[in-house]
Structure 1
Amino acid sequence: MLMFITHPSDRYSIAEEVQMVLEGGCKWIQLRIKDISDEEFRQTALEIIPLCKENEAFLVFDDRVELAMEMGVHGVHLGKNDMNPLQARETMGAEAIIGVTANTADDILRLKGWDVDYVGLGPFRYTTTKKNLSPLLGPDGYREVVNKVREADIPLPIVAIGGITLEDIPEIMATGVNGVAVSGSIINAPNPVKYTRQLIETLNSTKKQ
């Protein structure tokens, strides 16, 4: 399971980023653009919604619950300072995809019994967008969190996030997480389409081991 998280860059527009990862086979996009107005966000979303529909890919917005409902996308990803997931579920309905951010096992244990669909757990390593906000997990941290969560009988899919590269995937997936979210390493790759394909191939091969 690969999620691509958009990130403004000097090389590509957001729509170009999304087009490339879709061409590479990614089926799950998170539109994340901080510090812009709803109208600016809406204009970017209007560019990528047709691309996601054409490629039968899921599209979630980072926060912006009302805008996600207005534009009919699949759901939202909620950070710790965003709308409460329970309120988002009540607002968006049963069919919406709702993901939440977590940094520790306790963050996920608090979600037991909540109607959320996945957890983005990180950071694996520091990135330009998440620098020094939370302790790094690394492979050992992921393994410890996954074990605690599963022992508590919480089956929520866990997606690793935070500076992940192609080379990290076998070690990360061996910890028991269900997928990875990638942003910068795709955008900065010499060939983002090819890199996306390699990420998916590596994820698929680790599942079979």
Structure 2
Amino acid sequence: MQLYLVTDENACLGRDLFWVVEEAVKGGVTMVQLREKSLGTRAFIDRAKKMKDILLPYNVPLIINDRVDIALASDADGVHVGQSDMPYEMLKDLLPPEKIIGLSAETKEDVLEAENWDLTYLAVSPLFSTPSKTDTLRPWGMDGLKWVKANSKHPLVVIGGLNETNTAEAISNGAEGIAIISAICSAISPFEAARYLKFLINKIEKI
């Protein structure tokens, strides 16, 4: 969860998605979320299975965005849902108990409601405004992250506009994990981008 890559094929700039992900994992990514908004179900399952096969030797968990059916069919390690996706109670009934469950929180009400649930992590979304996520509410910012840290029992992942300039600050203000899209997927070297972000995270955690 420390360095969490969220896939975006468009952000890979024409390069093979699986190559980008494996390079990022070699560089230090510790969790991968496969996010596909336009693939059909069968193609999504095939892609998830292939991604799981790539990640397995590195012991990196695969999380599926939104689609519980895809997560089950591909035996992914867990699922990430937003506020408009499947309700937590239903999700918990469908998934085996060992699976990872992540939930996006876009408002203070979302954070407080999530206190009733057994989540693996809560995603503070978006931390900053970003072109990758245009359907979200006002960004939390660092003050918002501090509020969530003070009011949530869950490990926190931050997503939205994270890169090498603000990762250390986010970790310092309570984030256990940094979710990255374009700062790795669009980097000239996904390996080097991931390695430097991991270095920044480890540097703060040792202080």
Q: Which runs of 5+ in 1 are unaligned?
A: none
C-alpha deviation, 1:86, in angstroms: 1.7
- SS of the residue 2:178 aligns to: strand
CA distance in 2, matches of 1:95, 1:124: 28
Q: Deviations over 1:160-187 (max 9, x none)?
A: 1001001101111121121110011111
Report the TM-score when normalising by structure 2: 0.93
- 2:77 and 2:99 in contact (8 A); partners too: yes
- Secondary structure of 1:110's partner? helix
Match of residue 37, structure 2, among 34, 46, 49: 34
Quick one: distance in 2 between partners of 1:132 and 1:88? 22
Moved more, 189-198 or 119-128: 119-128
Provide the residue aligned with 1:205 in structure 2: 203
- Normalised by the length of structure 1, the TM-score is 0.92
1:158 shift after superposition: 0.8
In structure 2, the residue matched to 1:133 is 136
Question: Using a 3 Å threshold, how does the CA distance of structure 1 residues 11 and 134 change in structure 2: closer, same or farther?
Answer: same
Cα RMSD for the two superposed structures:
1.4
Q: What letter corresponds to residue 5 of structure 2 in structure 1?
A: F
Task: Give, in whole Å, the separation in 2 of the partners of 1:21 and 1:146.
Answer: 28
Percent identity for Structure 1 against Structure 2: 27
Count of aligned pairs: 204
SS at match of 1:145: helix
For the pair 1:6 / 2:4, whether they are aligned, the reply is no
Q: How many angstroms apart in 2 are the aligned matches of 1:132 and 1:85? A: 21
CA shift digits 1:60-103 (9 cap, x unpaired): 10011122112111110011111112211111121110100111
- Is 1:91 the counterpart of 2:77? The answer is no
1:166 corresponds to which of 164, 167, 181? 164
Moved more, 91-100 or 7-16: 7-16
What one-letter code is carried by the residue in structure 1 that aligns with 2:205?
Answer: K
> Distance in 2 between the 1:18 and 1:192 partners?
8
Alignment deviations for residues 103-133 of structure 1 (CA, whole Å, 9 cap, x no partner): 1232111012312211111212222231262
Q: Is the 8 A contact 2:3 2:28 kept in 1?
A: no
Q: Identify the match of residue 112 of structure 1 among 112, 115, 121.
A: 115
Q: Name the CA distance, whole Å, in 1 between partners of 2:157 and 2:185.
A: 19
Amino acid at match of 2:69: E
Q: 8 Å contact 2:115–2:153 — kept in the other structure?
A: no
Structure 2 SS opposite 1:205: helix
List alignment gaps of at least 5 residues for structure 2: none
| Equivalent-residue separation in structure 1 for 2:106 and 2:121 (angstroms) | 13
2:188 pairs, out of 187, 190, 196, with 190
| Aligned-residue offset at 1:37 | 1.0
